[in-house]
A and B are shown apart, each in its own frame.
Chain A
Amino acid sequence: MDFRFSDREEASRTEVEDFIKKELPTDWTEKNIYWPGGYGTLAEFEELNSHIERFRHRLAEKGWLTISWPKEYGGAGRTNIEQAIFHERMSYYRAPGGEVATLIGGPTIMLFGSDEMKKEWLPKIARGETRFWLAYSEPNAGSDLASIQTRAVEDGDDLIINGQKIWGTAAHVSHYAWMIVRTDPNAAPHRGITLLIVDNKSPGVTIRPLTNICGSYSFNEVFFDNVLVPKKNIVGEKNKGWYYVMVALDFERLVIPIGGFKRTFEEITQYTKETKHNGQSLSQNPLIRNKLAEIAIQIEVAYMFFWQTAWMLDKGLVPNIEASVLKLFTTQLSQKLANTGMQVMGHYGPLERESKWASLRGRVQSGYLDCISALVGAGTSEIQRNIIAMRGLGLPRA
C-alpha cells in the first residue's frame, strides 16, 4: 500500500497545473461559478466562451481532452490514475475540458464500436471537434430508462427515427446525439434498444430550450420527426444498446469534479476566516468549525473513493458498484456543501451575484439550486442505491 503519488504521477500533476495556469485567465477560477456535481450552470460557461474554445483546442493539441486514450486515437496514453490526477486539477481550477464525447461516447466506442467506427469517430473526438449530448431520457422514461419509446425503423442503409428526448444537457451547443432508440418493440424492454450517433443537423431534429431552476439554459427537449440516420452510426450491435449504456453510465458516474469540492470548500472556509460577527471571526465559532470539519471529512472520504476507482481501472478491475458509490456519495456531498455554505453565510448566502453585498460571487446560492441536478442526473440517488444493492451486494430483484 502506498498513498504517495509516484514521481511520474507527481510530474504529471505539476505539468497539468502549470498548463492550466498558463492557458486560463488568472481570474478564471474565481469568475466561474460552476458548482461541483451540478449540471445547471452551463450558461455561465458560455459567457466565457471564447476562452473555452481556445483552452479546449490547446488541450486537444496535447491529447489531454482524452488523456488516457491510446495515442493512435489522439489520446496521451496516460494511466487512469494520471487521468484522475488530471481531472482533479482541472476541476480544482474549474477548467473547461471533457464532455459527453470525450468522457462517455469515446470510451464506449473504444470498447464496443467496430474498427471502422473507431477510426471515424475517435480521432475527431480527441481533437475536440465533435461534441455529443446524451439523448437517453424521455418524458416517460426517466429512472425506468429501459421503457424508452423513441422508435427507429430500418430503411435500406438507414434508420428512420421518430420520438422525443428530454433533459439533453448542452444539446444546443453539441454536434451529435449519443442516443438510445427502440429497435425491437416486441422484445423485452432492455433487449430491444440500440445505441447510435445522430447528427444534430439532420432534417427533422428540433431542439427546444428548457430553463433550469438556476435560471440558466442548460438543457433541452429534442424532437425527432422522421430523422434519417445511416446504419453505420449504430454503436456495436443492434438491440444491444442497453448493455452498452449500462457500461457507459459507469463512465459517466466516474467523471466526478473532485477538485471542485475542495476548491469551493476552501473558498467557504476563507470566507469564515474573513467575516466577523460580533467582533469574532465566523471560523472561531465552534458550531461553524464543527460543520466545516464535517464537510472536510466527507471530502477526504470522497477523494478516497475517487482514487480507488482510478486505481481499480489501472489494475484491470471494473468499478461498477464503486462508480455508483462514488456518484451517490459525491452528489450528496454537493448538496451538503451547498447547505453548509448557506448556513455559515446566513443572510448573505442567498444574495445573487449582481448584488454589491454578495460574497463568493453568489456561487453558493446558485450551487444550492444546482446541487439538485447532481442528486438527480446520471441516475438518481435511489437508482445508485438499487445498483449498489443488486449488482454489488447481490440482493434479489423485487
Chain B
Amino acid sequence: MDLGLSEEQEMLKTSARDFLQKECSKQLVKQLDESDTGYSPELWRKMAELGWMGLIFPEKYGGSGGSFLDLIVLLEEMGYNILPGPFFSTVVLCGLTILASGTEEQKRELLPKIANGEMILAFALTEPSASYDAASIKAKATAHNDDYIINGTKLFVLDANVADCILCVARTKETKNPEDGITIFLVDAKSPGIKCTLLKTLARDKQCEIVLDKVTLPKKNILGKLDQGWPIVKDTLQKATAAKCAEMVGGAQAALEMTVKYAKERVQFNRPIGSFQAIQHYCANMVTDVDGARFITYKAAWELSEGLPATKDVAVAKAWTSEAYGRVTLLAHQIFGAIGFTMDHDIHLYYRRAKAGEIMFGDGDFQRAIVAQELGL
C-alpha cells in the first residue's frame, strides 16, 4: 500500500498551483464568471502549451500519456483555484469519451486538436428530465439515406456556448431495454438547426439549453458504434464523477485555508477569533471533512485509473465529497461573517461551486442509492 503521490504528480501539483495562482486571479475568475463565454482564450492557450489538455492522451494523439490519476491531481488544483472554463467538458467529458469509443480516424482527427487547445467540446447528455439514466434520453436520431437527423432538447449542457463540437447522446432505436439503442454523435456546433441558449446559474458555470431541430449529420459522425453508446456514456460518467470530486476536494481545501487564515487575523474582543473554541471546532470539522473527502476520492480515482471496478467507491466518494464541500463552505461563511456576504469577497465563489458540484452527476441521495445497490440491499 502506498498512499502518496509520485514525484511527477507532486511536481504537476506544484506547477499547476503556481501557474494558476499567477495566471488566474480571483479577479479574473469573477470577470469570467460574469462573462458570456466563461473562459479566457489566452489562459486556454497557455494551459495547452503546458500540455494539460493532452495530459491523459497517448503520445500518438498529441498527448503525454499520463494516467487518470495524473488528471485527478491536476483537477484538484483547478478546483483549488476555481479555474473557470471548458476544461472539464473538453477533456474529461468529451476527450475521455472519444478516447474510449472513437474510431482510429476520429481519434487521430480530434484528440490532437484537443491537446493543442484548438478545439473545445461539450457533452450533451442530460435533457429536461434532468437525470442520468438511459431512459431519460429522448432526443431522437433518425436514419435518412446516408445521414442522421436529430431532433430534441438537451439541457444543462456545460460549455456548449463556446464549443466547436458537441457530443450529442441520442436515441437511435427503441427497445424494451432503454440502455440499448443509444448513439453518441459528433455534432458541429455551427450546424443548421442548432439553437444554443446560455442559462444563468448559481455558480455561473456555463450551462446551456440546446434545441436540435432537424439537425442533419453524415453517418460517419457516429462516435464509435451505432446503438451501443450507453456503456460508453456510463463509463464517462463514472470518470467524470470522480473528476468532479477531485475538483471539489481542491475547492474545499482552498476554502479551509482561506478561512483558517482569516480566523488567525480577524480580531474581536481583543483577540483573534481563531482563539475561540467555537471557531476552532468549526475549523476542526472542516479539516476532517476535507481530508476524508480527499482520501476517499483518491481511492475511487485510483481504482478507475487501474481499470478496477469502481462503481461503489465512486458513489461513496461523490456522496461524501458533495456534502463535505457544502458543509465546509457553509462553515467558512459562518466564520467570515458579514464580509463573506459581499460580492467583493471570494468565499461565495466556493459556496456556489459546492452546490453546483453536489448536483452535477448526482447528489448524495442519488449516490447513496447506488451504494445501497452495491451493498446488495
CB atoms of B292 and A305 under 8 A apart = yes
A393 within 8 A of B: yes
Give per-residue flags for B234-269: 1 if the beta carbon is below 8 A from chain A beta carbons, else 0: 000000000000000000000000001001100000
Known contacts A3-B299, A304-B295, A385-B280; is A311 also within 8 Å of B3 by CB?
yes
Contact B285 A385 (CB under 8 A): yes
Give A300 to B312 CA distance when docked, in angstroms.
Answer: 10
Chain A, range 371-394, C-beta contacts under 8 Å to B = 382, 384-386, 388-390, 392-394
A296 close to chain B: CB less than 8 A: yes
User: Does A1 lie within 8 Å of B369, measured CB to CB?
Assistant: no
Residues in A with CB closer than 8 Å to B299 are 3, 300, 304
Residue of chain B at shortest CB distance from A325 = B288
Instruction: Decide if A329 touches B292 in the complex (CB within 8 Å).
Output: yes
* A398 to B2 alpha-carbon distance, docked (Å): 38
Q: Mark B352-373, 1 if CB is under 8 A from A, else 0.
A: 0000000000000101110110
Contacts A304-B292, A304-B295; A398 near B372 (Cβ below 8 A) = no
Nearest CB of A to B255, in Å = 13
* Interface hit among A89-97, A108-116, A238-246, A286-294: A286-294
Cβ-based interface call for A272 (8 A): yes
- By CB atoms of chain A within 10 A, which of B4, B264, B377 has the most? B377
Q: Evaluate contact between A386 and B277: CB separation under 8 angstroms.
A: yes
A1 and B69 contacting across the interface, CB-CB below 8 Å: yes
A293 to chain B, nearest CB (A): 4
Q: A397, B275: Cβ atoms under 8 Å?
A: yes
The answer to whether residues A3 and B369 also contact, given A395-B260, A395-B264, A395-B274 and a CB cut-off of 8 A, is no
Interface size class on chain B is 35 or more
Contact partners of A304 in chain B: CB under 8 A:
292, 295-296, 299
Size class of A's contact patch? Answer: 35 or more
- For residue B276, which residues in chain A have a CB less than 8 angstroms away from its CB? 398
Interface residues of B in 302-323 (CB under 8 A from A): 302-303, 313, 316, 319-320
- Would you give the shortest CB distance from B131 to chain A, in whole angstroms? 16
Contact partners of A277 in chain B: CB under 8 A: none
- Are B377's CB and A6's CB within 8 A? no
| Complex alpha-carbon distance, A292 and B4, angstroms | 30
Indicate whether A200 reaches chain B with its CB closer than 8 angstroms.
no
User: Which among A1, A6, A290, A398 is the interface contact of B277 at CB below 8 angstroms?
Assistant: A398
**Which among B3, B291, B369 is the interface contact of A290 at CB below 8 angstroms?**
B369
Instruction: Provide the residues of chain A in CB contact with B372, threshold 8 Å.
Output: 289-290, 292-293, 296
Residue of A whose beta carbon sits closest to that of B292: A301
Which residues of A are found within 8 Å of B260, using beta-carbon distances? 393-395
Check A311 against B274 for contact (C-beta < 8 Å): no
Judge whether A390 and B1 touch: CB under 8 Å.
no
Contact A301 B295 (CB under 8 A): yes
A5 at the interface (CB under 8 A from B): yes
In the bound complex, residues from chain A placing their C-beta under 8 Å from that of B295 are 301, 304-305, 308
Task: Say yes or no: is B287 at the interface (Cβ < 8 Å to chain A).
Answer: yes
* A315 at the binding interface (Cβ < 8 Å): yes
Q: How far is the CB of B14 from chain A (nearest CB, A)?
A: 17
The answer to whether B281 and A301 touch across the interface, beta carbons within 8 angstroms, is no
B4, A1: Cβ atoms closer than 8 Å = yes
Contact A289 B280 (CB under 8 A): no
B279 at the interface (CB under 8 A from A): yes
Instruction: Tell me if B41 counts as interface (CB < 8 A to partner A).
Output: no
Query: B324: shortest Cβ distance to chain A, in Å?
Result: 9
| B71 proximal to A (CB < 8 A) | no
Q: Flag whether B45 is at the interface (Cβ < 8 A).
A: no
Q: Is B6 an interface residue (CB 8 A)?
A: yes
Q: Is A162 an interface residue (CB 8 A)?
A: no
Candidates B271, B272, B298, B320; contact of A1 at CB < 8 Å: B298
The complex places the Cα of A382 from the Cα of B369 at a distance, in Å, of: 33
Cβ–Cβ contact B316 & A307, under 8 A? no
- If A301-B296, A386-B280 touch, whether A3 touches B287 (CB-CB below 8 Å) is no
Whole-angstrom CA separation of A29 from B300 in the bound complex: 31
Q: Report whether A328 and B284 are in contact in the complex, using a CB–CB cutoff of 8 Å.
A: yes
A297–B245 CA distance with the chains assembled, in angstroms? 14
CB-contact partner of B281 in A284, A289, A382, under 8 A: A382
8 Å CB interface, B322-377 against A:
365, 367-369, 371-372, 375-377
Most A-side CB within 10 Å, residue of B284, B285, B376 = B284
Question: How far apart are the CA atoms of A215 and B4 in the complex, in Å?
Answer: 45
Note all chain A residues with C-beta closer than 8 A to B281: 382, 385-386, 389
> B303 near A290 (CB under 8 angstroms)?
no
Q: Which residues of B contact A315 (CB under 8 A)?
A: 4
Chain B residues whose CB sits within 8 angstroms of the CB of A2 once the complex forms = 1-2, 302
Taken together as a complex, chains A and B put the C-alpha atoms of A59 and B324 apart, in Å, by: 41
Contact residues in B for A298 (Cβ distance below 8 Å): 320
Select which of A290, A328, A386 is within 8 A of B365 by beta carbon. A290
Q: Report how far A29 CA is from B299 CA in the complex, Å.
A: 29
- Partner among A3, A272, A328 whose Cβ is within 8 Å of the Cβ of B3: A3
Q: Contacts A2-B2, A5-B1, A325-B288 known; list 12 others, CB within 8 Å.
A: A6-B1, A289-B372, A296-B372, A301-B316, A304-B295, A307-B3, A311-B1, A385-B285, A386-B284, A388-B288, A395-B280, A398-B276
9 A-B residue pairs with CB within 8 Å: A4-B1, A301-B320, A304-B296, A311-B2, A329-B288, A386-B284, A388-B284, A394-B260, A398-B277
10 smallest A-B Cβ distances: which pairs? A389-B280, A304-B295, A293-B368, A385-B284, A289-B372, A388-B284, A293-B371, A395-B274, A385-B281, A283-B377
